[in-house]
Amino acid sequence: MGKNLTQAVRELLKCLTVGVIDLLLINTATVLIFALRFSGSIPHYNFQAYINMLPWALMIAVFLLYVYGLLPAKFNIRWQDMVVSIAITILLYNIFFMALSYFSRQFAFPRTVLLMQVIPQLLLLLLWRSLLWKYQNKHSSPLKIFIIAKSDEAELIKSRIPFKQYNWTVAGEHHAADSKINLDEILSDEKLDILLLGRSLSPGMRKQLLIQALTKGLKVYVIPDMYDMALKLSLVNQVEDMKLMEVNPENITLRSQVLKRAIDITISTAALPLIAIISIVVSACIYLETGRPILYKQERVTAGGKIFSLYKFRTMYNNAEKETGPVQARDGDPRITKVGRVLRALRLDELPQIINVLKGDMSLVGPRPERPYFIKQFEKNVPGYSLRHKLKAGITGLAQVNGRYSTSPEDKLIMDLEYGLNHSIWLDLKLMLQTIKVVFIKKSST
């Protein structure tokens, strides 16, 4: 208990220190640009406008640093991911700062300072975070992890988890059968830090191993199935002397649904002028390469199993599935046009779905709508897959932000279930902002 408390205090102090330095650097850049803009003699009237907005600006900065995973500071990410997160954070910070100056009527804040501060803010934060990232990865010892799972899942785990990136090293693995396992025997004298239990293990075996590992003082990671995730997000009630875990499939209340719909309409309507301009350019590019049609209409499934027509910009050649039938797109798919590859990489092919949002077929945030053909296959192979249809389909969502192209339907279902059981307007806002980063990170899922 004492050791865990000390570790928690240490992590909190580290987070506060990193956060304070981030904020100091962002605002130091602003002050330097003020000094440069006015040759060292900063007018009080102009600088006072900055001081008046500073408390709100600090809150905006902290909010964005948190949303893009920079606070608490994470060092088990790729350097390129960190650079993208910092760049988007600084860009959005200045956009919000400009809006703040307008709505708070601080018109004395010079627009030249706002434009000029972006580059030094970006450079200072990148330099500081890069040095911190390099130091942390150089001076931290790798944690030893032991995998217990059936052989096929163990291989899948090793292929999908970038152990080096997370500063882990695989000390060993045990391909479990449905029999009792003695950790003392399989771990021998190896000093381990983490025990990773696969989804393929039976509930009884996982329970047995979990108790043994905790007794030995090992940290345990469990790859969850749908049942585990539902229990994780349940409410624990006390009924007399008994604990009851409440798993409620209807977690999105009527009030939340109304508010969610209002946000969908407001944001979609506000974004229409910008989307219209981009759509004209995209339409011209598609027409010049492969002619008509510009838009592509396809049947998809949303809440309650309702089938609707989803709109996208066409990214494949005409009649791409005439001979093959329905086939999911893959990396290097020859059916995709040159313009289509660019549109898919930037997610611009999804823009017409704003029409689906305004019509009420979809929400801005929710499970990605699938085609009826593939849903029939998934429902046969993935128990509980139909549960995702309790939610209205979305343009973006938890699976799109956290997943990959190769993420299995079962893992996507678990993320959709987590979203549904843990839904809030705050989560929707966070996912919408994180989707901006998805555009620049190839590994993310569509």
Residue 5: predicted pLDDT: 64
CATH number of 143-223: 3.40.50.11060
Angle between helices 425-438 and 79-103 (to 10 degrees): 120
Residue 115: predicted pLDDT: 93
pLDDT at 23 over 50: yes
Residue 444: predicted pLDDT: 47
Residue 184: predicted pLDDT: 75
Helix (H) or strand (E) holding 308: strand 307-313
DSSP string, 400-421: HHH-BTT--HHHHHHHHHHHHH
Running DSSP on this structure, what letter comes out for residue 104? T
CB 125 within 8 A of CB 26: yes
pLDDT at 251 over 70: no
* Range with lowest mean pLDDT among 85-94, 265-274, 289-298: 289-298
Q: Which residue has the higher pLDDT, 197 or 441?
A: 197
Nearest to 60 by CA among 28, 20, 103, 90: 90
CB 149 within 8 A of CB 197: yes
- Report CA-CA distances (Å) from 18 to 21, 75, 124, 291: 5, 12, 13, 53
Residue 174: predicted pLDDT: 86
- Report CA-CA distances (Å) from 105 to 33, 99, 100, 329: 21, 10, 8, 49
DSSP string, 119-133: HHHHHHHHHHHHHHH
CB 296 within 8 A of CB 312: yes
Average pLDDT score over residue span 88-105: 94
Residue 385: predicted pLDDT: 85
Helix (H) or strand (E) holding 304: none
As a residue count, the chain comes to: 446
Residue 2: predicted pLDDT: 53
Residue 445: predicted pLDDT: 43
Helix (H) or strand (E) holding 353: helix 353-359
Gap between the Cα atoms of 56 and 67, Å rounded: 17
309-312, long-range: CB < 8 A, 24+ apart: 309/361, 310/353, 310/356, 310/361, 310/362, 310/369, 311/352, 311/353, 311/355, 311/356, 312/349, 312/350, 312/352, 312/353
Helix (H) or strand (E) holding 273: helix 254-290
Average pLDDT score over residue span 221-242: 85
What percentage of the chain reaches a pLDDT higher than 90? Answer: 45
Residue 188: predicted pLDDT: 64
Q: Using alpha carbons only, what angle is made at residue 309 by residues 304 and 310, rounded to the nearest 5 degrees?
A: 100
| 3-state SS assignment for residue 249 | coil
User: What pLDDT digit, counting tens, does each position of 296-323 carry?
Assistant: 899 999 998 999 999 999 998 887 666 6
Nearest to 343 by CA among 398, 412, 290: 290
- The mean of the pLDDT values for the chain is 87
Average pLDDT score over residue span 392-413: 86
Task: HSE, CB side, 13 Å, CA atoms: give it for residue 269.
Answer: 7
Q: Please, where in the chain does CATH 3.40.50.11060 lie? A: 143-223
Q: Which residue has the higher pLDDT, 1 or 136?
A: 136
pLDDT at 330 over 70: no
pTM: 0.84
User: Identity (one letter) of the amino acid at 69?
Assistant: G
Gap between the Cα atoms of 10 and 434, Å rounded: 28
DSSP string, 176-211: --SS---HHHHHTT---SEEEE-TTS-HHHHHHHHH
CB count within 10 Å of CB 233 equals 17
Q: 446 falls in which pLDDT band (50, 70, 90)?
A: very low
Q: 288 falls in which pLDDT band (50, 70, 90)?
A: very high
Q: 75 falls in which pLDDT band (50, 70, 90)?
A: confident
CB 409 within 8 A of CB 378: yes
Gap between the Cα atoms of 201 and 178, Å rounded: 8
* Range with lowest mean pLDDT among 126-135, 184-193, 332-341: 184-193
Residue 3: predicted pLDDT: 56
Gap between the Cα atoms of 260 and 428, Å rounded: 9
Average pLDDT score over residue span 184-211: 82
Gap between the Cα atoms of 59 and 104, Å rounded: 15
Average pLDDT score over residue span 395-418: 85
Q: 190 falls in which pLDDT band (50, 70, 90)?
A: low
